[in-house]
Amino acid sequence: WWLWLCSDTAAPAGGFGSAANTAAPAGGFGSAATTAAPAGGFGSAANTAAPAGGFGSAANTAAPAAALSSEAAVSVRKPAADELKGKTLSSILAEVDKNFAKDYRDFQKLSQHMLLRDRQIIDRGNEILAYISHLDAAITTAEASKQTLTELKSKQGAIAEMMQRVEDAVQPVYAKAQPNFTKLDEQREATYAAVINLFDEVEAFRLRLSQSVGQHNRSLRHLRECDDLERMAGLVDCQLSALGQCSLKAEELESELDLLLGRAPTM
């Protein structure tokens, strides 16, 4: 009976607790086949991967501006095959030679223009240097003339002082001899005084005439820059103005001479 008990407690094949029953049936719940994701099913690699060209693909995640710029570059830059299509080597070399000849001519014109400008700049520089040299010489001459004028003024002052001393020494002698003067001596004295005054006036007139001549010469230099008609009209005006001034001065001198000689003034 012991053997029978052991045989009765053993789990029958396929019964409850047997290895066949405890093992998961093929394709049943918990089996490897059921836990693995079916091909194309939920969670499969095919479904988790983004489809080519779909949402999230490399083609769609790239920036649109880059695509547009690449398309524009493709549309602008033609392939070398398209540019050289239908052209021979001789035509290509002829076009290159034509462009090079045009650039060479433009460069030659520009170089000639620059050379002309350089020569003009050099000439203007030489003229400026010459003007500076003349200006330095004029400044040196002016300084020498100023120094000479200062010396002349000092000498003139010394001569004036000497003449004043002579006059002071002669004045008492003249006062003593004046009562013995005759009418002829008095006329001679008046004539001397008139001559001295006339000399001063003539000297003043000479200075004014020199200024008028200088102004006249400046006017002539100005007239040389005008046209012929303006030059002739200005020359006539200058001559008439100079003649008018000379006529007025001559009339004044004639009146003064009449007064000195005791004649009636001429009308």
More confident residue, 10 or 87: 87
Query: What six digits make up the tokens of 192?
Result: 């001397």
Nearest to 242 by CA among 266, 208, 267: 208
User: For residue 196, what are the CA distances in angstroms to 94, 191, 192, 255?
Assistant: 98, 9, 6, 17
The answer to whether residues 199 and 184 touch, using CB atoms and an 8 Å cutoff, is: no
> If we measure between CA atoms, which residue out of 9, 27, 31, 26 comes closest to residue 18?
9
Tokens of residue 80, six digits: 């070398």
pTM: 0.31
pLDDT in tens, 149-185: 899 999 999 999 998 998 888 888 878 877 777 788 7
Give tens-digit pLDDT for 175-221.
Answer: 887 777 778 878 888 898 899 889 988 988 888 888 878 777 776 66
DSSP track, the chain: -HHHHHHHHSPPTTSTT-HHHHSPPTTSTT-HHHHSPPTTSTT-HHHHSPPTTSTT-HHHHS-HHHHHHHHHHHHHS--HHHHTTT--HHHHHHHHHHHHHHHHHHHHHHHHHHHHHHHHHHHHHHHHHHHHHHHHHHHHHHHHHHHHHHHHHHHHHHHHHHHHHHHHHHHHHHHHHGGG--HHHHHHHHHHHHHHHHHHHHHHHHHHHHHHHHHHHHHHHHHHTS-HHHHHHHHHHHHHHHHHHHHHHHHHHHHHHHHHHTPPPP-
Contacts 24+ apart (CB under 8 A), 223-231: none
Single-letter residue type at 144: A
Determine the average pLDDT of the residues in 9-37.
42
Burial of residue 231, with CB atoms counted within 10 A of its CB: 0-12 exposed, 13-18 middle, 19 or more buried: middle
Looking at residue 6, its pLDDT comes to 44
- Work out the average pLDDT over 85-93: 82
Counting residues of the chain whose pLDDT is more than 90, the rounded percentage is 20
Task: State how far the Cα of 258 lies from the Cα of 265, in Å rounded to an integer.
Answer: 6
Contacts of 136 (CB under 8 A, 6+ apart): none
More confident site: 240 or 121: 121
Q: What is the pLDDT of residues 92-120, one digit of tens each?
A: 888 889 999 999 999 999 999 999 999 99
267, 257 contact by CB (below 8 A): no
Which two structure tokens, joined as six digits, stand for 13?
């094949």
